Amino acid sequence: MELVPRRIVVDCGGSVHAAPLPSGGRASLGVGPLEVEIERGGSGWSWSVGNRGDAPVPVRSVAVVLDVVAVREPLRLFRHGYQSWSPTGVAVLGRDVDPSTRADLPFLQGVHAADDRTVTWPGELRSEWVTLLVDADAGGEPVLVGFTGGDRHDGTFRLRPRGQEGMTELWVEAFLGDALLPAGAGRQLHPVVVGGPGGALELLAAWADVVAAAGGARSTAPRPVGWCSWYHYFGAVTETDVGANLALADRIPGDLFQVDDGFQVEIGDWLATNERFPSGLEGLVERITGAGRRPGLWLAPFLASPASDLATGHPSWLAGGPGTSDREPLLAWWNPAWGGGRDGFMYALDTTNPEVLDHLEGLGASLAGGGFGYLKLDFTFAPACSGRWSDPTRTPAERVRAGFDALRRGAGESTVLVGCGVPLANVVGVADTVRIGPDVAPCWALDPADEIVPGFLGVQPATRHAFANTVTRGFMHRRLWVNDPDCVMVRTEQTSLTPAAAAAWAATVALSGGAVVVSDDLSLVDGGAARLLAEAVALGGRADDAARAGATLEVDGLLDAAVPAVVHGAGATLRIDTTTGRCLGDLPWE
């Protein structure tokens, strides 16, 4: 298998232009109204785009199209997901499909792909930020293609069968999301690296090291260990619940005590608590620190409920809906449990508005100054959604990054910022810890009949879905940030997660070396459950030490199995029945 560069394609607000890519190292090409400069080397290319006209041009994407030649089918693609919850794993060209072809729902598709449009090329498969290709050639090794950054724009890979000349094509696409490029202006695009031959994990680790160096990755933060309220109490958590668990906190390792969704009056009004938290945030901090624990808090900083003081008091801070001229606010998420006056639909803050960035900086300063040294920032894909922004020259990636940068400025360098529901490529160098998979749940797997939106079962909360992303993204830990696989649950009551599956999940989290945060009512954590958790935290510490030295989670069959079932870390091996969640053999501490 070989990748041969053939042409440049630009999409200028729906007007598509192409130009052949000449051989040689450096070229400057006029492609429609744009000028693309590219310099190729043996391991990839650097490139830029400029507007050579006298009027601004909306640039949706700039792509280098590679012919994939000498392929022995089947051709497999490492399909890396866009954000925390987006599934990551292997897909087979000609067998698997892009989920948008089943859903055709841009509202959800924009949450899980840089481009929210339904793909129109028959059989197209997509990956975000990085991909691997491997065919059936005997002894064949994969080829990696990846962007070295993601704070300026996103990067999408489109594998298309039977392209322009009947050849399978890989489109390497710098996605700018219709950002306006002013007349005479230019943009430096993120370089692209091509790696191989080598093993899949070896190539991914080497790519991550390049990205980390380019982006100044914050990969040395402490590994979070402690407690979170969400997976037992969910949005009904009370101050009394927090106090009851603090009284039992000696049952679990770690010092983190993080209160999740449920304390706030409205989404967006983060400094005011509801009637279930009568002591307010100040009282919450006093209670947690008084018990010798470190306070943590959840928030969705880029969303606002229509009923919030934020939205009603500052309507100009809201992004506008796509194609609207009357500034109808952009609907960026829907959660009926949040209410808010529009049946759970939430607005997105306009992170290209300087006043919004001042607000976010002040919010970070208030929470950190008030004693919260750990902030879980959720649903942070919101600024990437298609809409109307006060500065139309900013890309979706830049909008996400601007919000995180503002929060970091306010919260300071010592506050742990956790990115969740976040486009991963956008936050290298600003997030300390990143959720790398979908939500777990007090169950292992879902029935296909539970699928809410066709094609998107894999993003729904289930421990099996979190397991899949933990093993496929394990190489990122201590390279790009500290991995957060999501919480463990060790209770044996009020759960559908079997004791065997709970133990196997705890062992997986441990071998990953990432955060170990338990999310149970601690009154249900008996002696056996407490020992299981202690073993997981201890093994996780050894795995984390190994990751600091460059030895992250190893996976058998990364490019073979839909969900890899055998993982290795810290000198131990874990085999999982991925259908039931049961460990096949001994747990790594037995």
Question: What CATH number does the domain containing 442 carry?
Answer: 3.20.20.70
Closest CA to 395 of 153, 172, 107, 191: 153
Is 82 a member of any domain? yes
pLDDT in tens, 296-333: 999 999 999 999 999 999 999 999 998 766 679 999 99
pLDDT in tens, 199-240: 999 999 999 999 999 999 999 999 999 999 999 999 999 999
526 part of the active site:
no
| 579 CB neighbour count, 10 Å cutoff | 11
pTM of the complete model: 0.98
> Helix (H, G, I), strand (E, B), or coil: what is residue 347?
strand
Whether 180 and 284 map to the same domain: the answer is no
Is 576 a member of any domain? yes
Tell me which of 439, 484, 486, 544 is the catalytic residue. Answer: 439
Tell me which of 98, 378, 484, 544 is the catalytic residue. Answer: 378
Whether 285 and 373 map to the same domain: the answer is yes
Query: Is the Cβ–Cβ distance between 24 and 158 less than 8 Å?
Result: no
Domain final residue pick, 188, 215, 242: 215
Question: Tokens 């970070």 — which residue?
Answer: 364
Domain final residue pick, 180, 215, 250: 215
Is 220 a member of any domain? no
User: What are φ and ψ of residue 577, in 5° steps?
Assistant: -80, 105
Whether 206 and 60 map to the same domain: the answer is yes
Q: Please say if the pLDDT value at position 404 is more than 90.
A: yes
579 Cβ neighbours under 8 A, 6+ residues apart: 445
b/e burial code for range 177-189 (CB count within 10 A of at least 16 → b)? bbbbbeeeeebeb
Q: Please say if the pLDDT value at position 139 is more than 90.
A: no
Whether 465 and 572 map to the same domain: the answer is yes
Largest distance between two CA atoms of the chain = 72
- The token pair that represents 144 in the structure block: 């990696």
Closest CA to 374 of 413, 338, 417, 345: 417
Mean pLDDT of 470-476: 98
Closest CA to 125 of 151, 87, 180, 152: 87
Whether 279 and 236 map to the same domain: the answer is yes
| 90 CB neighbour count, 10 Å cutoff | 21
Whether 165 and 244 map to the same domain: the answer is no
Q: Which domain holds residue 342?
A: 225-583
Q: What is the pLDDT of residue 324?
A: 60
Whether 419 and 548 map to the same domain: the answer is yes
| 320 CB neighbour count, 10 Å cutoff | 19
**Helical spans, DSSP H, in 485-586:** 499-512, 527-548
**Helical spans, DSSP H, in 393-432:** 396-411
Q: What is the pLDDT of residue 325?
A: 64
Write down the mean pLDDT value for the chain: 96
pLDDT in tens, 237-291: 999 999 999 999 999 999 999 999 999 999 999 999 999 999 999 999 999 999 9
Is 488 a member of any domain? yes
Mean pLDDT of 127-149: 93
> Helix (H, G, I), strand (E, B), or coil: what is residue 286?
helix
Query: Is the Cβ–Cβ distance between 64 and 54 less than 8 Å?
Result: no
309 part of the active site:
no
Q: What is the pLDDT of residue 164?
A: 64
Beta-strand ranges (E) seen in 461-550 are 482-484, 516-518
- The token pair that represents 172 in the structure block: 């390497």
User: What are φ and ψ of residue 348, in 5° steps?
Assistant: -105, 135
Q: Is beta strand 225-228 parallel, antiparallel or unpaired with respect to 256-259?
A: parallel
CA-CA-CA-CA dihedral for 19, 25, 28, 33, to nearest 10: 40
Domain final residue pick, 215, 236, 260: 215
Is 590 a member of any domain? no
Whether 207 and 272 map to the same domain: the answer is no
Query: Is the Cβ–Cβ distance between 61 and 79 less than 8 Å?
Result: no
Q: Please say if the pLDDT value at position 25 is more than 90.
A: no
> How many domains does the structure of the chain reveal?
2
